[in-house]
Amino acid sequence: MKISQTFMPTLREVPGDAVIASHRLMLRAAMMRKLANGLFAYLPLGLRSFRKVENIIREEMNAIGALEAKPTVIVPGEIWKESGRWDTMGEALLRIKNRQDADLVASPTAEEAFTALLRDEVSSYRQLPLTMYQINTKYRDEIRPRYGVMRGREFTMKDGYSYHTSEESLDDVYQAMGRAYRRIFKRCGLTVIPVKADTGAMGGTGSEEFMVESEIGDNTLILCRDCDYAANVEKAACKPDFEAPASIEAAKAAAAQTPAREKIDTPAVRTIEELCAFLKTDAKQFIKTLIYRGINVEADLSAAPGGSKLEKKSLAPDAPKTYPEAFFAVCIRGDLDVNETKLAAAIKASEVSLASDADVERFTGAPVGFAGPVGLRDIPVIADDSVTAMADAVTGALEKDKHYIHAAYGRDFEPWLVTDIRTVVAGDRCSVCGGELYEKKGNELGHIFKLGNKYTKSMNFRYLDADGKSQIPTMGCYGIGLDRTLASVIEEHHDDDGIVWPMTVAPYHVMIVPIKYDGAVREAADSLAAELEAAGIEVLLDDRDERPGVKFKDADLIGIPLRVVVGEKNLPKVEVKKRTEKESRLTELSAAAAELTGIVRSELAGLNG
């Protein structure tokens, strides 16, 4: 392809809102343009790389037997109401009314569409397992789209869904997907950090996120310096830095050494720091107690303090019964922080948030700042594991300006639930090997997830098993964001001059730059291009009437892996340079095509192999 015959408006300057490298470089290298906030158009050059990512994903999906289908982008709101997500998805779901006032949804994912499609087709266990996917347009009504295609409103996703008669069958496909995802990212030249949710305390094998390190990442990752432990901070666990008693009896026995609990005056003390200064102790001695509000709580509270007053309700006809709202007192050692994702998981809530000051007063009988587990009624106490080792602690006394000292777990209070709700931070120790944990910011490119029967149950997908009994299949879902994957390749592969494409996703393999596209130089450039193209090599030929400096700058910017400079003074030799290297070298024009073809094939094989 000659540059004069394509459309490649490269830019020297970029808009100030392009703060990350991939956003800047995709604009500068004429890969894409902004149509509106969060809406981007791929230009021809960008679309070539986009299609290569798409094809890599398609090949790997087909290789594990996933079947490609194509539902619509805009789907009936009805099926989102069936699954319950019409109500729970929030405002990021783009809801549409058509001319007949029917509800539609611009799909952000397609659990509903595939489940609706297949529940009418599958009636027997013989038709399962079934793994289908699409590579299609998605929409999220992001409140604040930014970073170019990294977080746009419209984007392309490969989303797959599998249906199974057993957990084993789901696990087979889940594992195959995990392997396929690793191959996909490797082929794209990406270093991903697979983050399992089954590491450490969380148990289960249900979810794996594929992250890339990114200064603007949405996610905080916790990694171990000594082993390959990696987890999203939302779910990360660590090795306890305390000695937990073996049982509550052991805790009570340990507490026998502790002086009796004593209520003391703590006037004008507002923060933990002030309290520690006042008592000349440190935060590790303090039991921090926070009142949380849970929404749609599935955990059974019938035997919990105050639980008998609560009533479970169904939000939708087929939805499970939950407590629409429930409050909890959450205790943790004073130097640690509560992890709300773990807390929500522990009580099976769709959402948790700190209670209002009024609710704190209602449950603790005191203003904010004096909550503690001792003497609390009508509210279940949840304690982090760290609290179990606290046999002589300071904590709020449920009265203004009063605290207890010498409070002991087991003796002075018994929580309703003890579990890990601690937020792991850099410096904590690895739960696997004891190594030091550290933090990275990451962006999620892909996610594989065992969904269970959430959708198949609410949407009434049933099949007959071998005994003729009606069953509900279990389900998995598997997504990759294409635009974000492409942008991440650029994040990982660029330098100050521009993009440095891996061969597999480069828009072209070889760029030919004639110093002046004329006479013998033109002839040499054309014949080299023809020879390469005949060998299946993708060539971009800079036939523009521009100064060599401009052409070299553009070549570096758009980052084609191999550059060949054809100039009069070197003929019959040409100058070959890899984008990854500083130095070029001369090679005979007559041998150049074979040499370049060899490099292209070997780099492709290296990444694809």
Q: Is 461 helix (H, G, I), strand (E, B) or coil?
A: coil
Tracing tokens 């100064």 back to the chain, one arrives at: 547
CB of 121 to its own copies, least distance (A): 5
Tell me: does residue 445 bind its own copies (CB under 8 A).
Answer: no
Name the residue among 65, 98, 246, 74 with its Cα closest to residue 172: 65
Residue 364's SS3 state is helix
Place of tokens 């998995």: 476
Binding string, 2-41, against its own copies, x = CB under 8 A? Answer: ---xxx-x-----------------------x-xx--xxx
Radius of gyration of the chain (CA): 30
Instruction: Name which of 25, 69, 55, 169 is nearest 504 in CA terms.
Output: 55
Contact 46, 55 (CB under 8 A): no
Sign of the CA dihedral with 225 first, then 231, 232, and 237 last: negative
Q: Name the residue nearer to its own copies (CB basis): 71 or 178.
A: 71
Helix 21-28 and helix 482-492: axis angle, to 10°? Answer: 100
Q: Does the footprint of its own copies cover residue 543 (CB under 8 A)? A: no
Note whether 64 binds its own copies by CB under 8 A.
no
172 lies in the site for its own copies, by CB under 8 A:
no
Shortest distance (Å) from residue 350 CB to its own copies: 20
The nearest distance, CB 317 to its own copies, in angstroms, is 20
Please report how close the Cβ of residue 272 comes to its own copies at its closest, in angstroms. 38
Least Cα distance to 216 among 501, 22, 25, 16 occurs for 22
Here the tokens at position 436 are 């030091």
Taking the complex as a whole, the smallest distance from the CB of residue 486 to its own copies amounts, in Å, to: 12
- CA 511 remoteness from chain centre: 35
Tell which one of 21, 27, 56, 132 touches its own copies (CB under 8 A): 132
Q: Closest CB to its own copies among 117 and 295? A: 117
C-beta of 4 vs 247, nearer to its own copies: 4
Q: Which is nearer to its own copies, 73 or 433 (CB)?
A: 73
Q: Which of 15, 19, 63, 143 binds its own copies (CB under 8 A)?
A: 143
Length of the chain: 609
141 makes contact with its own copies (CB under 8 A): yes
Residue numbers 68-87 binding its own copies by CB under 8 A: 68-76, 78
CB of 457 to its own copies, least distance (A): 20
| Angle, CA of 471, 475 and 481, to the nearest 5° | 160
Q: Which of 60, 82, 111, 154 binds its own copies (CB under 8 A)?
A: 154
Euclidean distance between CA atoms 23 and 150, whole angstroms: 8
Least Å distance between CB 548 and its own copies? 20
In angstroms, give the least distance from the CB of 484 to its own copies. Answer: 15
Q: From residue 120, how far is each of 276, 460, 500, 576 by CA, in Å?
A: 64, 10, 48, 59
Angle at which helix 44-63 crosses helix 482-492, to 10 degrees, equals 110
550 binds its own copies (CB under 8 A): no
Question: Smallest distance from the beta carbon of 107 to its own copies, in angstroms?
Answer: 11
Please list every residue from 366 through 395 that binds its own copies, using CB under 8 A: none
Please name the amino acid found at residue 320.
Answer: P
Assign 125 to helix, strand or coil.
helix
**Residue with tokens 């996933």, as numbered in its chain:** 66
How far apart are CB 117 and its own copies at their closest, in Å? 5
Q: How many residues bind its own copies (CB under 8 A)?
A: 50
Distance, in Å, from the CA atom of 496 to the CA atom of 136, rounded to the nearest integer, reads 33
| Interface with its own copies (CB under 8 A), residue from 80, 86, 139, 370 | 139
Instruction: List residues bridging with 297 in a β-sheet.
Output: 323
Work out which of 67, 250, 426, 466 binds its own copies, going by CB under 8 A: 67
Which lies closer to its own copies via its Cβ, residue 230 or residue 537? 537
The answer to whether residue 361 forms part of the interface with its own copies (CB under 8 A) is: no
Among 28, 119, 153, 484, binds its own copies (CB under 8 A): 153
- In whole angstroms, the minimum distance from the beta carbon of 78 to its own copies comes to 7
426 lines the binding site for its own copies (CB under 8 A): no
Indicate whether 594 belongs to the interface with its own copies (CB under 8 A). Answer: no
Q: Which two tokens stand for residue 594?
A: 């074979």
Smallest separation (angstroms) from its own copies to the CB of 139: 6
C-beta closer to its own copies: residue 70 or 321: 70
Q: Could you write out the DSSP letters of every residue in 509-563? A: SEEEEESS-SHHHHHHHHHHHHHHHHTT--EEE------HHHHHHHHHHHT-SEE
CB-nearer residue toward its own copies: 63 or 227: 63
Do 303 and 312 meet the contact criterion of CB atoms below 8 Å apart? no
Separation between Cα atoms, residue 91 and residue 75, nearest integer Å: 17
Distances (CA, A) of 180 to 38, 62, 206, 476, 548: 30, 10, 17, 15, 43
Q: Applying CB under 8 A, which of residues 61, 89, 116, 338 lies at the interface with its own copies?
A: 116
We find the least distance from the C-beta atom of residue 28 to its own copies, in angstroms, to be 13
- Which of 365, 420, 364, 434 has the alpha carbon at shortest distance from 388? 420
Task: At 567, list the tokens.
Answer: 């100039």
Q: Does 538 bind its own copies (CB under 8 A)?
A: no
Q: Are 384 and 336 in contact (CB under 8 A)?
A: yes
120 binds its own copies per the rule CB under 8 A? yes
Site residues (CB under 8 A) for its own copies? 5-7, 9, 33, 35-36, 39-44, 47, 50, 65, 67-76, 78, 91-92, 94, 96, 98-100, 106, 113, 116-117, 120-121, 127, 130, 132, 136-137, 139, 141, 143, 153-154
